[in-house]
Amino acid sequence: MGLATLDLLLPSTCAGCGRRGSPCCPECAAAFGAPRPRGEGVYALAAYDGVARRLVLGYKERGRRDLAEPLGRLLAGAVPYLPGARPDQHGTWWLVPVPSRRSAARARGGPHVLGLARCCAAVLARGGRPAAVAPALELAPGVRDAVGLDRAQRAANLEGRLLLRSAGGPPAGAPIVLLDDVVTTGATLAAARRTLTLAGFEVAAALTLTAV
């Protein structure tokens, strides 16, 4: 059975409102706006509430991987306008996704922020802005689920466990945009920025879909 026929038989439904026709309808996409500051160098497109929360949870926890493209498109629409963000000397935008715990990634069918970053890069490229994804970070074994932890506990949980991968980093000197789905206390993004900075990279900005 072809994909077009399958789409007719099983049309997509919006994960935000349930309307048939697309994974994320235009009305629900409008829940995400211009990037707003959520800490030093950190920006988010929406509060982690209502429609935006349902869309993020649908993608992250409920198997709606068809949301990667519309959510990636929302990120791509914001990346070029983040204060401090810029492409490298060759005109390429470098995106670094925040990693997930390996067990969580397996349960979700793969690293979900990496999927968002790849879709974001593809949309930027189609718009005439070359972009590349650098999966430069990984979490060491022993990191706990951060749900319910405060900022100090999250920082302690990540201390020495958010590592630079031996391969997959951006070129030396390239400005980086960190990407994530949700910022809660900012501890994870701060740890990611610290790891990359200590390795000699420049983190120009961090962008998330939502903020608690």
CATH of residue 96: 3.40.50
Domain residue limits at 83: 32-211
pLDDT tens digits, one per residue of 131-182: 999 999 998 876 666 666 677 777 666 666 789 987 878 998 899 999 999 9
Residue 204 belongs to a domain = yes
Inside any domain, residue 12: no
Q: How far apart are CA 8 and CA 130, in angstroms?
A: 34
Residue 18, number of CB atoms within 10 A of its CB: 10
* DSSP labels, 11-72: --B-TTT--BTSSS-HHHHTT--S-EE-STTEEEEEESSHHHHHHHHHHHHS--GGGHHHHH
pTM of this structure: 0.88
Number of domains in the chain: 1
Residue 110, domain member (yes or no): yes
144 falls within a domain: yes
Q: At what angle do helices 112-126 and 68-78 cross, to 10 degrees?
A: 60
Residue linked to tokens 């397996």: 106
One pLDDT digit (tens) per residue for the chain, 212 residues: 444 444 444 568 999 999 999 999 999 999 999 999 999 999 999 999 999 999 999 999 998 999 999 999 999 999 999 999 999 999 999 999 999 876 666 667 778 999 999 999 999 999 999 999 999 999 887 666 666 667 777 766 666 678 998 787 899 889 999 999 999 999 999 999 999 999 999 999 999 999 99
Helix (H, G, I), strand (E, B) or coil at 146: coil
Residue 1 lies inside a defined structural domain of this protein: no
Which pLDDT score is estimated for 10? 53
The answer to whether residue 24 sits within a structural domain is no
pLDDT of amino acid 176: 97
In DSSP terms, which residues pair with 132 in a beta bridge? 94
